[in-house]
Structure 1
């Protein structure tokens, strides 16, 4: 079937179609589960039991477990993936993760969450997402690029074995799969105690499966394609910047997985919101609120490009293949988000996000 698609659509078209399809699954599942790293971190930091941390754990454990199961079965080899094979930066991972974690609290959502909320009519998220994409592109090739390169050069790490935590620890794919199953069991236990509704855990599992599906799909295409194509999974920093560039400059670059991913996520989230009657226009409430969102979006755009991944790109996709820089980024995101929430929104009863469908009212 994959060869047939390659013959009919070409390699770029096949990748874009796969990205769009997996994006629709992610967008639909993320919208229904209210998947959000920011809410999970704040809930943990405030010692609350609202189900958002459990939803994130379901997605995390599923992404890691499904990806490692594919690798263990011999259906996936991420050794040539950029997150492992290429030279990385630990200083960029740490500083970028700190900036991104701070930014997602200020903007009240990470990059993927902003895209999902924009699809259901949240104009605050739409504006923030555009600023995020512009800043990411500036950090990649524009005015902020020299600063990003300087910070990245402070502490680098060689590609291959040094970035591969499975190789360094010796636990292998079997050990990584066991690690994921332990966390999945913990998520199931907490879901029962907290009475997380079906859409919470089922949608989160869909998010995790989307990550594994992207790894498998891009690997499968790379095996049969004539031209070399990167093995990758879901991320929203680079893809958002690429889509924005294509829209503004009518780029004639070949299609790619990223070109289909962002529109696919938007469509999936829109369909979920429309089907369940949750489309609603929302705007800013005062200048102070707008300033906060703008600063947060800028921090996330620069931080995500500096770290080489966002809350999904590093927190799920990179963590699923146990690349060292992704785990540094994820840890920094958690620490910065918790600290920022404590300093700016430290009251114990601030709003987190939309409640999971079927759960009680959001705080």
Structure 2
């Protein structure tokens, strides 16, 4: 890494890393149709189907790769924000529930909206903008006091308390072995659900992109004299930073998150055009705008409160065994399944609410 840092500098190297991983993630996520919302909708319908298989393959490939690297001594994530800083269990619970509800209303989580936007889906573009603006308001704007109040109800100190396996990682080898076995079972399950092999491979690449984010930023931080955040793929924060930089700054500060968002868009766009699926999609009678906008608001606030989106908390945070991340993704599942069941019982909700 030292020659690359000397040639490009830390910021540009992080930017290039973000773009590269973003392209890989965008291509793989689009082809695999990776979507937590679709997986939860299957479960709510009483079916364990192909979308669940894809999500499980992505999740366990990320977990297995990250934990194997940690066990081998090639990766140290103890300085990651999800483990080192004070966390919020109340934020993970409330934010996860809100995010899960929002992604059902908007028919996609933050990452899925970004991927669909690249294929010409105007619904995803509008909802993504609402999500991003709400996230910014929740982080530094008018909604920040409410977020801070809810997050302060139940907190966890940084360090061992924020890790599912505590200090020392005595059970790390069991986690790595268990994740590998779970990955194999998820692949078998996917094949039994008639998911195409290329989609399962793409789902595994989604998980490996999460591992790539942790590994690359760790390697750069270890080789640099500057303080570099060890991080991986997430979308609510980087999308907000990218939009605000475009609106408020004459130049974009190079960084991992700034490169990630355009990389994902480019990768998904190339894949959509290659598959002949790029087309303009608008709001219609079966896709009411108010439902999408409400979903975007709930996801924007929920992701900032929970400490990440379905990818940032669910995959990136889950892969490093951050307690709050696992709680958040569990609550995303609960909120999503409950909302899906409500929509099946009341198809006109929330438009019919009084």
Common topology (TM > 0.5):
yes
> 8 Å contact 1:33–1:55 — kept in the other structure?
yes
Q: State the match for 2:351 in structure 1.
A: none
Q: State the match for 1:353 in structure 2.
A: none
* 2:283 maps to 1:284: yes
> 8 Å contact 1:90–1:155 — kept in the other structure?
yes
* Structure 1 residue 182 displacement after superposition: 2.5
**Aligned CA distance change for structure 1 residues 293 and 161 (closer, same or farther; 3 Å):** same
Q: Give the TM-score taking structure 2 as reference length.
A: 0.95
Q: State the match for 2:172 in structure 1.
A: 173
> 8 Å contact 1:245–1:251 — kept in the other structure?
no
Q: State the match for 1:359 in structure 2.
A: none
Query: Which string of whole-angstrom CA distances, capped at 9 and with x for unpartnered residues, describes residues 281-340 of structure 1?
Result: 100004971000000000000000011110001110001000100011011000000000
Query: Which string of whole-angstrom CA distances, capped at 9 and with x for unpartnered residues, describes residues 238-292 of structure 1?
Result: 1110011011112656311100001111111001111111111100004971000
Q: State the match for 2:93 in structure 1.
A: 94
Whole-Å Cα distance in 2 between the matches of residues 168 and 41 of structure 1? Answer: 33
Q: State the match for 2:185 in structure 1.
A: 186
Q: State the match for 2:207 in structure 1.
A: 208
Q: State the match for 1:361 in structure 2.
A: none
1:127-166 to 2 correspondence within 5 Å?
Answer: 127-166=126-165
* Structure 1 residue 9 displacement after superposition: 1.7
* 2:84 maps to 1:113: no
Q: State the match for 2:270 in structure 1.
A: 271
* 2:54 maps to 1:55: yes
Report the count of equivalent residues.
347
Whole-Å Cα distance in 2 between the matches of residues 332 and 35 of structure 1? Answer: 19
Query: Which string of whole-angstrom CA distances, capped at 9 and with x for unpartnered residues, describes residues 85-127 of structure 1?
Result: 0001100010000000000000000000000000011000000
* Structure 1 residue 42 displacement after superposition: 1.2
Whole-Å Cα distance in 1 between the matches of residues 287 and 266 of structure 2? Answer: 31
Unaligned runs of 5+ in 1: 349-363
* 2:339 maps to 1:318: no
**Aligned CA distance change for structure 1 residues 287 and 347 (closer, same or farther; 3 Å):** closer
**Runs (4+) off by over 4 Å:** 168-171
Whole-Å Cα distance in 2 between the matches of residues 202 and 287 of structure 1? Answer: 33
> 8 Å contact 2:191–2:197 — kept in the other structure?
no
* Structure 1 residue 165 displacement after superposition: 1.0
SS of alignment partner, residue 14 of structure 1 = helix
Q: State the match for 1:28 in structure 2.
A: 27
Query: Which string of whole-angstrom CA distances, capped at 9 and with x for unpartnered residues, describes residues 24-54 of structure 1?
Result: 0000000000000011111122122430000
> 8 Å contact 2:246–2:252 — kept in the other structure?
no
Q: State the match for 1:360 in structure 2.
A: none
1:241-256 to 2 correspondence within 5 Å?
Answer: 241-250=240-249, 252=251, 254-256=253-255
Q: Give the TM-score taking structure 1 as reference length.
A: 0.92
Superposed CA RMSD in Å reads 1.6
Whole-Å Cα distance in 1 between the matches of residues 74 and 341 of structure 2? Answer: 44
* 2:69 maps to 1:85: no
Unaligned runs of 5+ in 2: 348-354
* Structure 1 residue 192 displacement after superposition: 2.4
